[in-house]
A and B are shown apart, each in its own frame.
Chain A
Amino acid sequence: MPVSRHGGTVRWSLRLVFGALIVFLYLPILFMVVFSFDEGATPGLPITGFTLHWYEAMLNNRVLLRAVGNSIIVAVIVSILATIIGTMAAFVLVRARIRFPNATRIAFTLPIMVPGVLIGVSLLIYFARVLDFSLSLGTVIAGHLVVTVPFVVLIVASRLQSFDRFLEWAAADLGASPRQAIRHIVLPLIAPAILAGALISVTLSIDEFVITWFTVGSQPTLPTFIYTRVKFGVTPEVNAVATVMLVLTLGTLGLAGVAMGRARRLTGRMRRRRQAG
Chain B
Amino acid sequence: MASEIVGGAALAPPTAIGVRRGARLRQLAPFLPAAVIIVGLFLVPLALMFAFSFWSTDENLDVIPVWTLENYQNFFTNPTYVRTLFKTMVIGTGVTIVCLAVAFAVAYFLARYVSRQWARIALLVIIVPFWTSYLLRVYSWQAILGERGALNQVLVGLGIIDEPSLLFVYNDFGTFIVLVYLYIPFAALVLYASLERFDFTQLTAAQDLGASPIRAFRHVLLPQIRPGLITACIFVFIPILGEFLTPSMVGGAQGLLIANLLANFFKNALIPEGAAVGFLIAAFVTVLLIVFRRYLRIEDVVVRG
Contacts and interface: CB of A to CB of B under 8 A. Distances in A.
Contacts of A126: 41, 44-45, 48
A64 interface: no
A43 interface: yes
B219 interface: no
A109 B49 contact: no
B271 A125 contact: yes
A79 B28 CA distance: 23
A209 B134 contact: yes
A146 B37 contact: yes
B271 A18 contact: no
A119 to B, nearest CB: 7
Given A96-B27, A169-B5, A17 B109 contact: yes
A57 interface: no
B12 interface: no
A158 B297 CA distance: 13
Interface string A178-218: 00000000000000000000000001001101100110000
Contacts of A22: 125-126
Interface residues of B, number: 92
A85 B242 contact: no
A158 B303 contact: yes
B33 interface: yes
Contacts of A112: 298, 302
A95 B7 contact: yes
Interface in B206-250: 207-208, 213, 234, 238-239, 241-245, 248-249
Contact of B274 (A2, A121, A158, A249): A121
Interface in B14-50: 27-28, 30-31, 33-35, 37-38, 41-46, 48-49
A232 interface: no
Interface residues of A, number: 92
A242 B31 CA distance: 38
B193 interface: no
A201 B282 CA distance: 25
A242 B121 CA distance: 25
Given A14-B108, A15-B109, A44-B148, A115 B259 contact: yes
Interface in A107-158: 107-119, 121-126, 129-130, 142-143, 145-146, 149-151, 153-155, 158
Contacts of A26: 129
A38 B30 CA distance: 52
B123 to A, nearest CB: 11
B303 A155 contact: yes
Contacts, number: 262
A17 B263 contact: no
Interface string B254-277: 000001001100100001001100
A29 B129 contact: yes
Contacts of B143: 28, 31-32, 35, 43-44, 239
Interface string A92-112: 110111100000001111111
A238 interface: yes
A118 B242 contact: yes
A154 B49 contact: no
B31 A88 contact: yes
A152 B204 CA distance: 42
B139 to A, nearest CB: 6
A76 interface: no
A145 B37 contact: yes
A121 B289 contact: no
Give the residue among B34, B132, B249 with the most A Cβ atoms within 10 A: B34
B87 interface: no
B133 A207 contact: yes
Contacts of B302: 109, 112, 151, 154-155
A232 B302 CA distance: 35
A92 B150 contact: no
Contacts of A84: 33
Given A154-B303, A242-B139, A89 B133 contact: no
Interface string B90-109: 00000000000010011011
A17 B105 contact: yes
Contact of B42 (A88, A146, A206): A146
Nearest to B185: A25
A88 B282 CA distance: 29
Contact of A118 (B46, B154, B248, B249): B46
10 contacts: A18-B106, A28-B141, A29-B140, A44-B146, A89-B33, A93-B31, A114-B282, A145-B41, A154-B298, A210-B244
Given A143-B41, A250-B128, 4 more contacts: A32-B140, A108-B38, A118-B281, A145-B41
